Chain A
Amino acid sequence: MSAATLIAREEWRLLARNRAGLLATALLVLLVLVASFTSLERRSAIEADRERYQASTDHDFDAQPDRHPHRMVHYGQFVFRPVAPLAFFDAGVDSFTGNTIFLEGHRQNSANFAEARQSSLLLRFGQLTPAFVLQTLAPLLLIFLGFASVAREKERSTLRLMLAQGISGKSLLFGKFLGQGVLALLIGLPAFTVLVVFAATGSTGWGTVALMIAAYSAWLLLWAFLSVLVSALAQKPRDALAVLIGLWMVIVILLPRALPQAASAQTELATKIESEIALHRDLLEIGDSHDPEDPYFNDFRDKVLAQYGVDTVEDLPVDYTGLVSIEGEKLTTAIHADSAQRQAALETEQNAFVHRFSVLSPLIAIRQLSMALAGSDPTAHLDFLDQAEAFRYDFVQQLNRMQADLLPEVEGDDPRISAENWKEIPRFSYQSSDRLDRSDRLVWPFAVLLGWLAVIAVAAPFAARRIGRMGQ
């Protein structure tokens, strides 16, 4: 057996005999499991709720009586965002984004009822998910297990004893890395098991789970190795502890909170009111369908008349108002898409600013990876908004088309078309995109985590030389 494995085994034996260390480890494992199960249960409760709501509003839509199609345009549809299967593992921004949108004609409503707006400030302390435990608490446990690993030997002069017996600084350090690294992976094991079981039940893809495990392994190893490295460079265990706690505070608590403030100060988002007013103004610039003298809509009318080969609107075989609605919807949607894109670009810019600093605070990298893989990141939310908007456009235009085509056949001053038509209108079904499709998003955060590991690897020989010199 090599010296390094012997030293690693000593680390494990020490932990096995250290009651406080075992207790803390057991508590963390327990916390991961509790978080997994409560979060899983919570996810399925939310998901069941949303499915129920979606089914009931879909049913309500079908159950509407004979009506003028434009009334159905404003009756609209409610869509609910399904919770991604892995969101139980990392809730990401799910609690901060609205999960239901009311879709109607020529209005783009906001996604409402975000959990964070309906919770007390307690939510801001963090949400109990396995990701929270692994991202925030596990590094602290690894610090406590590793801060004394080398510094302890220095303080008790056992280091000199080892060096005198011919163990090199390098193999000592390697042994400590090995010992603490294996512990780090063991600490991750319960969470990884949950993920594997989840994948085995077919709830999510193996590729996603494998990447998730790889990401968290890198994150945990990072902290284990960092602890050993600092311990090797510090004079006393206490100094190592102070430095490591300080690093943890900056990396895990401080920077992730402070950077978003800087980002939001740099790039300002317009309020919803401003966007609405701008939208309205842009729209009026193109044309006002209510204004009989409006050049844009006069052109449009002439084009329609020419197309049908008639002289007046009254002679048209279709409902002209329906055609105007179709045209109007096209315009508003394009303008809205433009403004939504601008807004999304601003948000992306803000996030990119924060992401750049993941070099300093790898927590941002692991958070980004974890959310993206879990399907609870802002991209997934934007994807939902995009799909909802596309769906909105389609069903509204379909209703407008019904108005144009079917209304002329209906007599009377209260024209209604048959309720049977509502059943032809599609229902929303969210197509969750494959997380691995847009894997370019995953490259940078992975690179950051591996970069940190690489830096530690580069610093290790230097630390090993320093340890080696202590014996002389």
Chain B
Amino acid sequence: MNALRAEARLLLRSGRNLLALVLLLVLSCAAVWVGIAKIENQRATIERVEREQARDLASVEDANAGPEGDAGYNAYYAFMLTQDPPPALAFAAIGQRDLQPFVLRVRALGLQGQLYDSETYNPELALPGVFDWAFVLIYLLPLVVIALGHDLVTGERETGRLRLLLSLAGEGLWLRRIALRYGAVMAAVGLPLVVGGIIMAAPAAGVAVMLAGAALYCAFWFGLAMLVGGTMRSSTTAAAGMIGCWIVLTLVLPALANAAIARQVPVAKGIDLTLAQRENVHRGWDIPKEETFERFFADHPEWQGKQEFEGRFHWKWYYAMHQAGDASVAGDVAEYRASLARREELTRVLGFVLPGVGTMNLVHRMADTDIAGQLAYQDSIADYHTDLRTFYYPYLFEDKYFTRADFAAIPRYSPRAGTGSVALGPLLALALAALLVVAAGALRMRRISGHSR
């Protein structure tokens, strides 16, 4: 019987270890299942909304498009759907997709008054955070590693087996035992991910990156188990010490850091820009129309000279006013986005130090379900909004009727391409952290001798 097989039997015959591994496997499967259900649900929701939207648009078309149709009315009443279908990898890391809208309707009015609308969600359900594979990986896997690894040495010493073991085997003993546990934990957490990836037809490279993140994070915790387990004298203190590390690394420091980041980078600009946009749009009614057009022509010189109209109201002025309102807050928008990006960036930097945060950044960037993904969706909405309003301008400025054929030509939103990417920085930082801790742990284990005083 070879030594590794013997170790495997030893590991799996222990009720406690087996329980921990099976629990991890079950939770990991459940998390993947929940994630897939959530993604399927979001897809179904998008389809449902698309059907509703099609019916709604048809009634707008009936009411406003025709031989003498008015593009101004049509643009006012035709809400256009944008949708952000879940990326294939989102099943493993739902991230912010439970809070951020994944369907949003916009019309040719000022974008800034529409872009930040919330989706309905139940805040109390969102409060504890999502239960997905990333959660199992970041929070629960370390606990299983602690259960399997805290007494590697102390357990043998306490039962008097340590000297016997060392008299029989060389250094290979710890390597085999740790490698086996590592393999078992990785299998329990990795297999469900791979199966989920196959079911969801997720890109293999993305799954591989997530697995790599998991492998490094898992290695970090095993390294810590070697370090702490090899230093402490009793299994109980080793367990307490490791749980202490877990609390500090995954609960206390991230919460402290979040408070610090929230304080450091305020995001009130979001409110400022909405208020300013409203003010500017409504001021448009009270200032000379030339001023509004002038502001509008700065961005759309092609319509210069076509601003004249009779009477008090013309849709071209109305939409120009909304566009001018958006343009007037461009600076605020940039600042607001910069503050969100800054928070994301600080979190990324924090991930260089805290492996749990680093892993979180890595898997969610890969899944494209973080703030960056949401900002990319907003960008694509903004691009689409530009297409939409510039589509209407010829009808408005050239006083063309808006026919059913024109209605059919309204640009439709096509979902953005996923921006999921390998966060190389966090990956390398994670690798470095894992390497350092494993090396330190290995050194500690090397110094374990059968004789101690």
Digitize B126-158: 1 where CB-to-A-CB distance is under 8 Å, 0 elsewhere.
111111000100011001000100000000000
325-354 of chain A: CB within 8 A of chain B:
343, 347, 350-351, 354
Beta-carbon contacts under 8 Å, A139-178 to B: 140, 144, 148
- With A110-B118, A249-B143, A272-B117: A123-B258 Cβ-Cβ less than 8 Å: yes
Closest to A41 in B: B263
Q: A113 and B371: CB pair below 8 A?
A: no
Chain A residue with the shortest CB-CB distance to B356: A125
User: Which of A94-102, A186-194, A303-311, A451-459 lies at the interface?
Assistant: A94-102
In the complex, are the beta carbons of B127 and A96 less than 8 A apart?
Answer: yes
Rounded to whole angstroms, the CA-CA distance of A359 and B262 in the bound complex is 35
Residues on A with beta carbons closer than 8 Å to the beta carbon of B371? 119-121
In the complex, what residue of chain A is closest to B49 when comparing beta carbons? A273
Contacts of A93 in B (CB 8 A): 123-124, 126-127
**A280–B56 touching, CB < 8 Å:** yes
Do B258 and A238 touch (CB < 8 A)?
Answer: no
> Bound complex: CA of A257 vs CA of B134, how far in Å?
13
Q: In whole Å, how far is B360's beta carbon from the nearest beta carbon of chain A?
A: 6
| B12 CB within 8 Å of chain A | no
Q: A120-B370, A273-B81 are in contact. Are A96 and B123 (CB under 8 A)?
A: yes
- Please tell me which one of the listed residues B105, B116, B344 contacts residue A112 in the complex, with CB atoms under 8 A apart: B116
Instruction: Give chain A nearest CB distance to B400 CB in angstroms.
Output: 23
Contact, CB under 8 Å: A122 / B125 = no
Asked if B322 is an interface residue, CB under 8 A from chain A, the answer is: no
Task: Please tell me if the beta carbons of A119 and B122 are within 8 angstroms of each other in the complex.
Answer: no
Q: Is B172 part of the contact surface with A, judged by Cβ < 8 Å? A: no
Given A121-B360, A136-B251, A238-B239, the answer on whether A127 and B122 have CB atoms closer than 8 Å is: no
Assembled-state Cα–Cα distance A276/B262 (Å): 33
Does A137 contact B124, Cβ atoms closer than 8 Å?
no
Main secondary structure of the interface of A (DSSP, over half): helix
Q: Does A292 contact B (CB under 8 A)?
A: no
Chain A's nearest CB lies how many Å from the CB of B258?
A: 4
Residue B165 lies at the interface, judged by CB distance under 8 Å to chain A: no
Interface residue A126 (Cβ < 8 Å from any Cβ of B): yes
CA A261 – CA B130 in complex, angstroms? Answer: 7
Cβ < 8 Å to B, chain A residues 223-280: 237-238, 241-242, 245, 249, 253-254, 256-258, 260-261, 263-265, 268-277, 280
Chain A residues whose CB sits within 8 angstroms of the CB of B99 once the complex forms: 96, 114, 116-117
B370 with A53: CB separation less than 8 A: no
Q: Are A140 and B243 closer than 8 Å at their CB atoms? A: yes
A102–B274 CB distance below 8 A: yes
> Are A271 and B118 touching (Cβ within 8 A)?
no
Interface size on B (CB < 8 Å)? 91
Q: Does the CB pair A120–B343 fall under 8 Å?
A: yes
Judged by a CB distance under 8 angstroms, whether A378 is at the interface is yes
- How many residues of A are in contact with the other chain, CB < 8 A? 91
Given contacts A65-B286, A137-B252, contact A271 B119 (CB under 8 A): yes
Within 8 A of B (CB), among A70-111: 71, 74-76, 78, 92-93, 96-98, 100, 102, 109-111
Q: Which residue on B lies nearest to A109, using beta carbons?
A: B117
Interface stretch, picked from B3-11, B177-185, B265-273, is B265-273
Q: Are the C-beta atoms of A125 and B254 separated by less than 8 Å?
A: yes
- Give complex CA distance A121, B359 in Å: 12
A114-B99, A249-B143, A257-B135 known; A124-B124 Cβ under 8 A: no
A20 at the interface (CB under 8 A from B): yes
* Interface check A440, CB cutoff 8 A: no
A52 CB, min distance to chain B CBs, angstroms: 10
Give the shortest distance, in Å, between A104 (CB) and chain B (any CB).
9
For the complex, is B308 an interface residue (Cβ under 8 Å from A)? no
Q: Is the CB of A245 within 8 A of B49?
A: no
Taking CB atoms, residues of chain B closer than 8 Å to A42 are 259, 262-263
Question: Complex: how many Å from CA A127 to CA B262?
Answer: 11
Distance from B37 Cβ to chain A, minimum over Cβ atoms (Å) = 6
Q: List chain A residues, Cβ under 8 A from B278.
A: 75-76, 78, 102
CB contacts (< 8 Å) of A78 on chain B: these are 274-275, 278
Given A120-B344, A121-B370, verify A260-B118 contact (CB < 8 Å): no
Residues 1 to 53 of chain B near chain A (Cβ within 8 Å): 16, 27, 30, 34, 37-38, 41, 45, 48-49, 52-53
A373 to B360, CA, bound (A): 33
Residues of A with C-beta under 8 A to B261: 119-120, 122
Q: Scan residues 77-131 of chain B and give those whose CB is less than 8 A from a CB of chain A.
A: 81, 95-96, 99-101, 103-105, 113, 116-131
Return chain B residues, CB-CB under 8 Å to A109: 117
- Residue B312 CB within 8 A of the other chain: yes
A152 → chain B, closest Cβ, in Å?
Answer: 10
Q: Does B364 contact A (CB under 8 A)?
A: yes
- Bound CA–CA A123/B128 (angstroms): 10
Q: Min CB distance, A27 to chain B, in Å?
A: 9
Cβ–Cβ contact A272 & B118, under 8 A: yes
Q: How far is the CB of B93 from chain A (nearest CB, A)?
A: 9
> Is B292 close to A, CB under 8 A?
no
**CB pair A113 B271 closer than 8 Å:** yes
- Show the binding face of A for B, using Cβ within 8 Å: 20, 24, 31, 34, 38-39, 42, 45, 49, 53, 56-57, 60, 64-65, 67, 71, 74-76, 78, 92-93, 96-98, 100, 102, 109-128, 132, 136-137, 140, 144, 148, 237-238, 241-242, 245, 249, 253-254, 256-258, 260-261, 263-265, 268-277, 280, 343, 347, 350-351, 354, 377-378, 381, 413-414
21 pairs across A/B with beta carbons < 8 Å? A38-B263, A96-B127, A110-B120, A112-B116, A113-B267, A114-B123, A116-B126, A118-B270, A120-B370, A122-B254, A122-B360, A238-B236, A242-B16, A242-B147, A257-B128, A260-B124, A263-B125, A264-B125, A269-B120, A274-B52, A277-B56
